[in-house]
């Protein structure tokens, strides 16, 4: 990549942040619109789950493939393709005549989205080569997630209330087109000198694990846990996982290097990413349906109700980043796990939803916890890794976030669907929803507790030692492929 002026580098950063904004904003905005989608398209709870999970599932499956493809054929080329697909998918979603079409168009969006985040991060790290400048750039990149969390419920509620749920996809169109034109004009092309080879078998096995498992979880409440269809998909997921574990170590350049998991910080970051984002997606899914379908709030009022959670996330994210930089990830992870666990306990052991003071307390606690957890995930994942392997480790952490989001909606939605099925009247729906939400809140509590325990276990001296030993084993391979894996 040619040397760019300071102003040009800042413009490249702004373009990359625009892509992250539309990808991050998409799900938070859509959550507020779910009840409106449910009414207009006559969707069941499982149908709503698929509108979220079709996106996160495809995103999780293709993130690493998109990153390696961009290294091989050109980052700008893949980034522009991603912007085109995401913008086109957004337009199609706004025109979807039924639920099946909406789910299919969400998958088109996700294919484009998978080409944006990892490729944009690679462009940033290759544009900002000085360590301090790069740290500031990545900090700005991370702050965009906080902005999307804070703005999503409010923007979504305002659009749904004033124009309708289809308008939430329109906001992606001007941003996507602007980012596309600016990318074509100002972002230089770059490739890795020695890109990683494709791993189509590994990619198919990953899709088999995630796709079959998600289908089995979402459809189980309706089809039954012991139905042949659900058991078949569960078996496909299990066999795909076994195949992945057996196949990947045999490749010189695997899609997922299983040796990474010998590092306790890396394994811990993967588990924490899955649990924290499962808790977030389940939290948003549960509360959106509760506030609008049970309390009868409008989409705008529901967005305003959830603003305390989003605001705390926005405020705590940069604070957590500074804490990780000065004191390491341990304190941030302990605070995050404690706050998320406390929020889940509050909702799971009381009628907090019925009292605004307790409801907002739970929202503040969850926002505090999630705001603190995001920054240390990537830091912990790359802790002690050779520089040549840091990009791959960060990509696995990003994939783990999306897997967590997928499983959170699948599991929480399945628990909820199992409890509200057959509720014919509004009063019966309200009563069954409240009862069904109890085990869902306990699942969210368990996710928070897992963040706390795993964070404590994988951020101490012993864990750092396993990271050093893992780095020593990986260094010879990393030296050979450093250019291809750096992002």
What is the structure's pLDDT at 487? 33
Quick: pLDDT tens for 249-302: 888 888 888 888 888 888 999 999 999 999 999 998 888 888 888 888 888 888
Alpha carbon distance 13, 330 (integer Å): 29
Q: Residue 205 in contact with residue 240, Cβ under 8 Å?
A: yes
pTM for the model stands at: 0.84
Quick: pLDDT tens for 358-416: 899 999 999 999 989 887 887 777 666 665 566 677 678 888 888 998 999 999 988 88
At 311 the three-state DSSP class reads helix
> Of 305, 289, 473, whose CA–CA distance to 389 is shortest?
473
**What DSSP state is assigned to residue 292?**
I
Alpha carbon distance 380, 127 (integer Å): 24
What is the structure's pLDDT at 180? 93
Q: Which position has the token pair 């760019």?
A: 4
Question: Which residues of the chain are modeled with pLDDT < 70?
Answer: 1-2, 131, 135, 138-139, 142-143, 146, 382-391, 394, 419-429, 475-487
Alpha carbon distance 88, 178 (integer Å): 14
Q: Which position has the token pair 């198919």?
A: 204
Give the contacts of 426 (CB within 8 A, at least 6 positions apart).
none
CA atoms within 13 A on the CB side of 376: 35
- Residue 432 is encoded by which pair of tokens? 């069954």
Give the contacts of 401 (CB within 8 A, at least 6 positions apart).
273, 274, 277, 377
> Of 91, 85, 133, whose CA–CA distance to 109 is shortest?
85
Q: Exposure string (b/e) for 65-98, b if CB count within 10 Å is 16 or more?
A: bbbbbbbbebbbbbbbbbbebbbbbbbbbbebee
> Of 354, 385, 345, whose CA–CA distance to 468 is shortest?
385
Q: Residue 363 in contact with residue 280, Cβ under 8 Å?
A: no
What is the structure's pLDDT at 174? 93
Q: What whole-number percentage of the chain has pLDDT above 90?
A: 34
Q: What angle do CA 366, 17, 87 make, to 5 degrees?
A: 100
Q: Is 412 exposed, middle or buried (0-12, 13-18, 19+ CB in 10 A)?
A: buried
What is the structure's pLDDT at 486? 34
- CA separation, residue 307 to residues 25, 170, 314, 405 (Å): 14, 22, 10, 20
Q: Which position has the token pair 């599991």?
A: 411
At 187 the three-state DSSP class reads coil
């Amino acid at each position: 990549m040619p040397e760019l002026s300071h102003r040009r580098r800042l413009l490249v950063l702004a373009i990359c942040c625009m892509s992250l904004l539309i990808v991050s904003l998409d799900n938070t905005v859509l959550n507020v619109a779910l009840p409106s989608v449910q009414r207009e398209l006559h969707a069941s709870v499982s149908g709503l789950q698929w509108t979220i999970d079709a996106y996160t599932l495809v995103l999780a499956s293709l993130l690493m493939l998109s990153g390696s493809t961009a290294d091989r054929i050109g980052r700008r080329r893949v980034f522009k393709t991603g912007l085109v697909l995401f913008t086109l998918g957004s337009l199609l979603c706004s025109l979807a005549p039924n639920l099946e079409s909406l789910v299919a168009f969400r998958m088109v969006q996700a294919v484009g989205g998978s080409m944006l985040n990892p490729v944009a991060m690679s462009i940033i790290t290759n544009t900002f080569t000085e360590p301090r400048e790069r740290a500031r750039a990545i900090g700005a990149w991370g702050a965009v997630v906080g902005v999307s969390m804070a703005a999503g419920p409010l923007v979504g509620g305002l659009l749904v209330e004033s124009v309708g749920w289809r308008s939430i996809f329109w906001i992606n169109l001007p941003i996507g087109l602007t980012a596309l034109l600016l990318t074509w004009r100002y972002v230089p092309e770059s490739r890795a000198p020695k890109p990683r080879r494709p791993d189509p078998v590994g990619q198919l096995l990953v899709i088999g694990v995630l796709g079959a498992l998600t289908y089995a979880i979402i459809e189980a409440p309706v089809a039954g846990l012991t139905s042949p269809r659900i058991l078949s998909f569960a078996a496909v997921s299990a066999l795909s996982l076994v195949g992945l574990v057996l196949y990947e170590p045999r490749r010189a350049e695997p899609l997922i290097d299983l040796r990474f998991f010998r590092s306790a910080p890396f394994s811990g970051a993967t588990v924490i990413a899955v649990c924290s984002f499962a808790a977030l997606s389940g939290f948003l899914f549960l509360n959106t349906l509760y506030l609008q379908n049970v309390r009868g709030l409008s989409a705008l009022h529901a967005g305003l109700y959830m603003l305390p959670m989003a605001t705390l996330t926005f405020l705590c994210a940069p604070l957590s980043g500074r804490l990780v930089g000065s004191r390491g990830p341990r304190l941030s992870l302990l605070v995050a796990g404690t706050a998320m666990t406390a929020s889940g306990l509050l909702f799971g052991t009381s009628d907090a939803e019925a009292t605004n003071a307790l409801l907002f307390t739970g929202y503040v606690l969850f926002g505090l916890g999630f705001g603190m957890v995001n920054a240390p995930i990537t830091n912990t994942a790359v802790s002690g890794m050779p520089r040549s392997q840091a990009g791959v480790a960060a990509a696995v952490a990003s994939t783990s976030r999306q897997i967590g989001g997928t499983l959170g909606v699948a599991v929480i939605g399945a628990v909820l669907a199992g409890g509200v099925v057959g509720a014919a009247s509004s009063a019966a729906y309200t009563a069954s929803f409240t009862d069904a939400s109890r085990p869902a809140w306990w699942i969210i509590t368990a996710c928070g507790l897992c963040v706390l325990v795993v964070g404590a276990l994988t951020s101490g001296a012993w864990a750092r030692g396993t990271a050093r030993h893992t780095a020593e084993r990986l260094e010879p391979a990393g030296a050979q492929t450093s250019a291809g894996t750096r992002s």
